[in-house]
Amino acid sequence: MLDQNGKQQVVTMGSYGIGVSRAVAAIAEMNCDEKGLIWPAEVSPADVHIVATGKPGDPQLPAAERLAQDCEAAGLRVLLDDRVGVSPGIKFNDAELIGVPTIIIVGRGLGRRCRRGQGSALGRTSRRHHRQSGVRVTHGDSLID
């Protein structure tokens, strides 16, 4: 740029607005720990993160899918991790990193109980709170209480 005397000057510009990316960064900075994000429910990408463990053909995988369908039918936004061939540890770590405030793990023990028509899953409100059991799973019409 040339100034009023025709001498070349460097242009310096700044923007100090609060946009979406800065708001998300601020939320993430205030709601994390050493394991990853813990999104506030109001801005979380999902209401519940269902982690299905097991191998192809195991009963807990269809149970997790039915649970996800019932949660969606109840109006919840669901993230279902039904990846086959990925270890439970990697799935749990990914769930911690993503940071959905409620994580339901559908594991091997749940699969055995579902065959008998009963069972339960654990829900976690966040790592800053306690573990809670609040989801009852049944093998039949409704998977969620």
Q: What is the pLDDT along the chain (145 residues), one digit of tens a residue?
A: 888 999 998 888 777 778 888 888 999 899 888 888 889 989 999 999 999 988 888 888 898 999 999 999 999 999 999 999 899 999 999 998 999 988 888 887 764 554 444 434 444 444 443 333 444 443 333 344 4
Which two tokens mark 60?
Answer: 């807990």
Backbone angles phi, psi at 110, to 5 degrees: -65, -40
Predicted confidence at residue 60, as pLDDT, reads 86
Please identify which residue in the block is written with the tokens 């790592």.
127
Assigned domain for 1 exists:
no
Domain count for the chain: 1
Residue 145 in domain: no
Is residue 61 included in any domain, yes or no?
yes
Residue 141 lies in a domain: no
For residue 85, tell me if it sits in a domain.
yes
Residue 2 lies in a domain: no
pLDDT confidence of residue 72 = 95
Find the domain containing 50 and state its range: 20-136
CATH code, 124: 3.40.50.800
- Note whether residue 5 is domain-resident: no
